[in-house]
Structure 1
């Protein structure tokens, strides 16, 4: 019997954070879990379990509880990596939306 797939703690934390952010925008029960699970390649039931059982998130608790032994230098480096990842994601989304906008344009190419 194979062992269950293990998801890294950082992936779990970020996924729960993303779900909570979307639920804050859309409201609960509007497909946030399914969307985030699809984007991250995580099984939706695993993500639902993490959200339901209160996986740690930076949006909850005090500042001390979110900074679990992490130095300021490490925290800044982590945030810079995350920022770069988000910038790359935004560029991909912009390129995809431009591509689909061209595809939807009823005018023939000139």
Structure 2
């Protein structure tokens, strides 16, 4: 099990916002040194946050869409298992009848 982070989500989001506000004038190393954070950790936080809002909660529409997609994923996984079983049965039947023909 991974060790829990000693930095809170709020701290991380504020550090990311600070780095983005610097608009390239400061490096990861400079900001990390000021805040006593590992520069690679800061780089990872920024990379993970790219494309995602810095807010903690998601909207209801997003949550509903995520739930729908998860349910569909489960349904498709079950269907795939059924198809694999059907293919295996057909493969064995074809092998059986091929032996009978000889």
TM-score range, shorter chain: 0.3 to 0.5
TM-score (norm 2): 0.43
| Higher relative contact order structure (alpha carbons within 8 Å, sequence separation ≥ 6) | 1
TM-score, structure 1 as length reference: 0.40
